[in-house]
Amino acid sequence: MADGNRFSPRLILAALVAGVLAGAVAVYVSESGSGNNAPAQVAVGDSKDDAACAAKADRARTVAAAATGQVAALLPADPPQSLKGLAFNNPDGKPMTLADHAGKTVLLNLW
């Protein structure tokens, strides 16, 4: 019998692990449309909120210019947009918006 044609279990396991890792890296790298690279979306809000955000555009540009290191990847929206109309469900499943939290201190994590 020819032993040269048989693959050892170690070789098969190594090839399997390499294939899984390559697949995971390919999925991770090919993910697009997330973060600041996502296509621009229209914010829902009234013109007063949009005007207030536009008035802060200079401040946003100053902050963006000062961002260095890993923080530099987090860019402010250009043009600034109001998030008062951002809708989500509360823990009970009831629909709500950020405007429902007006006047409260809120930690909002946008991923």
DSSP string, the chain: --GGGSPPHHHHHHHHHHHHHHHHHHHHHH--S-GGGSPP-PPP--HHHHHHHHHTHHHHHHHHHH--GGGGG-PPPSS----TT-EEE-TTS-EEEGGGGTTS-------
Highest mean pLDDT range out of 8-12, 31-35, 52-56, 67-71? 8-12
For range 43-67, the mean pLDDT = 71
For range 73-95, the mean pLDDT = 82
pTM: 0.36
For range 33-43, the mean pLDDT = 53
At 18, the pLDDT band (50, 70, 90 cuts) reads very high
